[in-house]
């Protein structure tokens, strides 16, 4: 299986990439809404936190790549958010 950088994917197919981004964020929001008001150890909360942690793991890995062209300050801020999310207990 080939692994391409985010920049390569965006360059080759920006519309499809943006659609996948929309879908993954829509899924994350849906899971968070399903977990809203539920106990911290509920299946809904666990599902939401596990998904968010996996999502941010992918983000942080991409942000840390040398070919990521975002400004360094923005990358550092996003990585910091990612570490915070990834450090939250998955219930």
**pLDDT at 18 > cutoff 50:** yes
Query: Using one digit for the tens of pLDDT, what is the confidence trace for 55-68?
Result: 999 999 999 999 88
DSSP state, residue 65: S
Query: Using one digit for the tens of pLDDT, what is the confidence trace for 30-50?
Result: 999 999 999 988 999 999 999
The predicted pLDDT at position 90 comes to 59
Question: How many residues in total does the chain contain?
Answer: 91
Model confidence band, residue 2 (pLDDT cutoffs 50, 70, 90): very low
d(CA 67, CA 20) in angstroms, rounded, equals 21
């Amino acid at each position: 299986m080939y692994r391409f950088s985010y920049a390569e994917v965006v360059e080759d197919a920006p519309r499809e990439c943006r659609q996948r981004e929309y879908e993954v964020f829509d899924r994350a929001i849906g899971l968070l809404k399903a977990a809203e008001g539920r106990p911290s150890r509920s299946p809904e909360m666990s599902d939401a936190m596990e998904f968010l942690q996996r999502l941010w793991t992918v983000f942080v890995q991409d942000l840390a790549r040398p070919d990521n062209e975002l400004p360094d300050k923005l990358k550092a801020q996003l990585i910091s958010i990612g570490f915070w999310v990834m450090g939250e207990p998955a219930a």
